[in-house]
Structure 1
Amino acid sequence: MNKTQAPSLNGNSKWYIIDAKNQTLGRMSTHISNILRGKNKPSYTPYLDTGDYVIVINSSEVYVSGNKTNQKLYRRHSGQPGGLKVETFEQLQTRLPNRIIEKSVKGMLPKGPLGRKLFTKLKVYAGPIHPHIAQKPQEYIV
């Protein structure tokens, strides 16, 4: 009788660091989501968390092509009547540059409990300094 072999999840996750300086938002986000899901490993299993941790630095210097800096809109709602807030890419980049990458990657992850767990493995920082030196992250070239 054949049995399905599930990968062992014994904490063999790696840490990768990605520099967002002059990187295109969408292309970088697809690389990040693939690492978070574990699609870059031979032991990839769609329903398990086999992914690695990702640290993104210099998120304030991410790049979008075309006229998206003025045309791309980010919406959020407070839940109150008339509570819709709309910001352009440029406004959000000056206010909260981390939110741009987080929102882009979160949309590429699966919806549900697995996607929420994978999203916690993403760490985004606006500048070049991060507190994860002890994990010895490897540089990932996008």
Structure 2
Amino acid sequence: MKLQDILTEDCTSCAVQISSKKKILEQICAIATNHIPEHSTFELLQSLLEREKMGSTGIGNGIAIPHGRLTGTKHVVAVLLTSEQPVAFDAIDNRAVDIFVALFVPEDCCKEHLSTLQSIAKLLSNKQMSKSIRKCTSDKALFDLINQAAE
């Protein structure tokens, strides 16, 4: 599954003014809760924090893909955020992060989940794409950029 297939415009937020890892994750969950009413914002945050305990989802080059598994849900929800200033995120290259693509996936969709993560990592590893993402100045422009992207 590609990011273009699961991202909605209301789950896209550009140049957010947040300065900590926890606050970014909380903002992601606040956005996602509109699409996952069977789970509270707190439950969504717990799913992301549990995954972060296993190791940071900061994949390098200013990019993080936080993700959590959820019971009792049937669909994948993606949230794309950019931060106005890079945030310390314990990324593998120790660089601060300013592009966040979060995923909330059903607990029983392991194989699909891994292919979606690979697809997103591949899309964001394109330096021109990440540069274009950072240049976006509105939520709509960011959403449209992702929708027009070809892998």
TM over 0.5: no
Question: Which of the two has higher C-alpha Rg?
Answer: 1
TM-score computed with the length of structure 1 as normaliser = 0.37
Structure with higher strand content? 2
Structure with higher helix content? 2
TM-score computed with the length of structure 2 as normaliser = 0.36
